[in-house]
Structure 1
Amino acid sequence: MRNVADHPTDALGWFRFARQQRRRQLEAGLQVGEWASQISHLVHMLQRERGASNIWLCSGGQLFVREVPFCIAQSDEQIAALRQRLALPDPIINAAIAGRLACALWYLDALPALRSRIQARSIEPEAAMAQFSQSIGHLLSIVPEANDTLDDANLARALTALYSFMQGKELAGQERAIGAMGFTRGDFSDPLRQMLVDRIDGQQRCFGTFIALAAPELAAEFREQGEASREMEQLRRIACTRLPPDEETAGLAVRWFALQTQRLDKLRETEERLIAVLQQAAQAQLHQETENNEPDEAAFSRWVQDHACQEEPAALDRHLLPLVRQQARQLETLTRQLASLQETLEERKVIDKAKSLLIRHQQLSEEQAWQQLRKLAMDQNKRMVEIARAMLSVADLWPITPKE
């Protein structure tokens, strides 16, 4: 807490205070860059583990037998590095960042249990993907919260370009995982196909924001290396229409994963350069502030003259934080949609099992079994899945007489 005696009382005193705060902001900018780099490394490894796990699950443990343990080891290495950093005090961690960190760590703590279920093949790929995506989403959400620690327009602009890019990369990672499921199974259901389309559209919006904010050379690098290749676009069209019956879908899955991984690795390189731009901007301005030995009175006089004729900041710079918040909400919405889809798929499986039970014991047709479940649900004012679960829980005790 600042001492009352140090409280500014005149214009020059407030100017000195402003210079001190600016130095702190620039130092925070350097730390934000370090945080972003650490999170970026961990997210990249979790993205790869998510995609590899999906292929392994969908292939019944036949594909990516060696790749999954390798991905796990890389993820764990980055998780250990994050925990080591968290053991040190960090002035940029405000209440919002601390809350996001708590959620991220909760999901990271749940990773061993998730991996055990994947290894036992006791979890559906959609559920595994949803849990990975929630972990990644909470990690990524730390980056826009750091924008609260930055007042400098150039640093806020660089951070917004970085977060937009990181979010686009995560949607590309989700695209890889979704496509891996469909190609490995040899089928893209309508919900799965819609999820794929949503991720492709989301990437375009995020990368569009990045291009508008980033330096021209970084935007050009993305267009050259980060855009989807022609072969990837062909596989997208196959996934978004219908798989040919004579295609070797396992081969398509491996090829899809390889192409998407190559692209994500290129995106990772650009991401590192964006982080470097943020840190270099903060470092250059901090160096200029530190090396400036101009007396406060002279510096204040020049500062007043410079700002007397300064134009109104561009709307883009003044509204960067709301833009970042909006993009963070979009990613959270897509993650919730994935979890909702998984819940729907699980409920459908329970209902199908109950239908099979009725078909087997009462010799009903599939349509008759469905109608009976529906009638029971309506009579008891309950959801059909609740009736199905109750039916399955006592299936072994039913004294059901086969229908004559």
Structure 2
Amino acid sequence: MSTPEQLTEHFLLAARGSEARALGQLVHSCQLVAAVCELVHELQRERGISNVFLASAGQEFAEELKQQNGRTNTASDHFCDYLQRVQSGQDQLWSSARLYHRIAHVLLQLKDLAELRNSIEQGNLTTAQATEAWSGLIAELLSVLFEIADIAADAEISRALVALFHFLQAKEHTGQERAWGCVGFAAEAFDTEILARLQHLRESQQRCLDVFVRFAEPEEVWFWEQLEQAPAKAELVRMRKVIDALGEGAAVPHGVSETWFAVATARIDGMRELEEQLSADLQAMAGERLEKARKALQDNRSRLEAEPPAEPVSAFSLLLDASSDSEQVPAAGSVRALYDLLQEQADHLQQVSDQLEEARSALTERKLVERAKGLMMQYQKMTEEEAFASLRRAAMEGNCRLIDVAARVVAAAEKLKG
């Protein structure tokens, strides 16, 4: 039968081993993140090219669309190949049912990609309908990244995932702005709904970028600041002013959609460069953290094995020694080593918990706001833009945070259901 010291040693090392296994899962998750980033970017490009193709009744970008189909298919194959390795047991599995559900939903939508493309090729969809269809698939892919960030148990990686997710979300809002701008230019007029949607997308970009700057590394923030000063941003701002100056119902010169597409694409391609860097930094960080955890496990094991057996010493007496102002008399043997390692691990876990709390607060706030918007869209028949505008207006009038208003909406809905 094991002694209390032997049991303590076993569970102490088991804790370190559990941390290493969790980081091993995160390393594989970061590979999935890279595959998702690649696929999202290609889908965003195909969405934009499809809009110009539809807006021109198939006269523009036909060849570009065919080439983009191939690039998107390649990215989709990379995504599915990774999942095939997971399914066959070659890579570690995750512990989140929500993540598996999100992945299954993405795969189901990817199956219908050929049908969507055929409808676009035949001209059976409007630019608005095509935009909604592409955006729905991209949203599902981004939700996979959200779930990975939500279950990450390492503080440094969690912060990096939060930064990457919000940057990707900002890039997607930019992509949607490109798509809906093409819709308005193609119709040669911007109605109230499209103008409101474009304004909402601009504001959404900034909110996501604010979170990105908060959690990103200094060098990543510097890279972003350089993009903000690049000509592509200045051109985008100029085109936005053109749209604002047109106003509702004003006639739009013919052929401007291609110019708008080129300007918005230059901005998005610049963001893609930083996105790739963020993904590479994340994978490198995960590998380093895993190696560090494995070394810590081996160090703990070596320290325990190096200690000679000792006379029984209680942990309580060691605690009194540690808190005493008098000169401490070291206790020989494995009990002292166990106590020291337990204290080090407790400090480590507390530090991780504190750092995770900050990172997850950003995800929790997003979930709450999204849920509140969904409830308002469902029960008050609002659009997403109207729901968010209502939440924001209530926060400003009540001089409180947006998340506080969202919490009240969710609480009121749950009370009504009850």
Match of 1:33 among 13, 17, 30: 30
1:110 matched residue in structure 2: 112
User: Unpaired runs of 5+ in structure 1?
Assistant: 343-404
> Does the 8 Å contact 2:155/2:353 carry over to 1?
no
| Partner Cα distance (2:356, 2:121) in 1 | 48
Counterpart code for 1:271: E
Aligned length in residues: 334
Alpha carbons of structure 1 residues 318 and 305: separation in structure 2 relative to 1, 3 Å:
same
| Partner Cα distance (1:119, 1:236) in 2 | 29
1:185 matched residue in structure 2: 187
Residue 272 in structure 1 maps to residue 276 in structure 2: yes
Counterpart code for 2:162: T
Deviation per CA, 1:376-398: give whole Å up to 9, x if none.
xxxxxxxxxxxxxxxxxxxxxxx
> Does the 8 Å contact 1:36/1:275 carry over to 2?
yes
Alpha carbons of structure 1 residues 316 and 226: separation in structure 2 relative to 1, 3 Å:
farther
| Partner Cα distance (2:177, 2:370) in 1 | 13
Alpha carbons of structure 1 residues 43 and 25: separation in structure 2 relative to 1, 3 Å:
same
Stretch moving more, 226-235 or 30-39: 226-235
1:57 matched residue in structure 2: 54
> Does the 8 Å contact 1:32/1:146 carry over to 2?
yes
Please give the TM-score of this superposition, normalised by the length of structure 2.
0.72
> Does the 8 Å contact 1:96/1:145 carry over to 2?
yes
1:195 matched residue in structure 2: 197
Deviation per CA, 1:87-142: give whole Å up to 9, x if none.
22243443211110111112111111111111111111111111111101111111
2:326 matched residue in structure 1: none
Alignment of 1:4-403 (within 5 A): 10-89=7-86, 90-93=91-94, 94-226=96-228, 229-242=233-246, 248-250=253-255, 252-292=256-296, 293-296=298-301, 297=304, 298=337, 301-302=340-341, 304-305=343-344, 307=346, 317-327=356-366
% identity of equivalent residues: 27
SS at match of 1:268: helix
Q: How far has the Cα of 1:60 moved from its partner? A: 1.8
Counterpart code for 2:60: L
**RMSD of the TM alignment (CA)?**
3.2
Q: How far has the Cα of 1:328 moved from its partner? A: 6.0
Deviation per CA, 1:340-367: give whole Å up to 9, x if none.
879xxxxxxxxxxxxxxxxxxxxxxxxx
> Does the 8 Å contact 1:42/1:78 carry over to 2?
yes
> Does the 8 Å contact 2:146/2:165 carry over to 1?
yes
SS at match of 2:190: coil
SS at match of 2:59: coil
Q: How far has the Cα of 1:195 moved from its partner? A: 0.8
| Partner Cα distance (2:112, 2:130) in 1 | 12
| Partner Cα distance (1:340, 1:45) in 2 | 31
Stretch moving more, 228-237 or 185-194: 228-237
SS at match of 1:88: helix
1:361 matched residue in structure 2: none
Q: How far has the Cα of 1:294 moved from its partner? A: 2.3
| Partner Cα distance (1:133, 1:188) in 2 | 20
| Partner Cα distance (1:233, 1:329) in 2 | 31
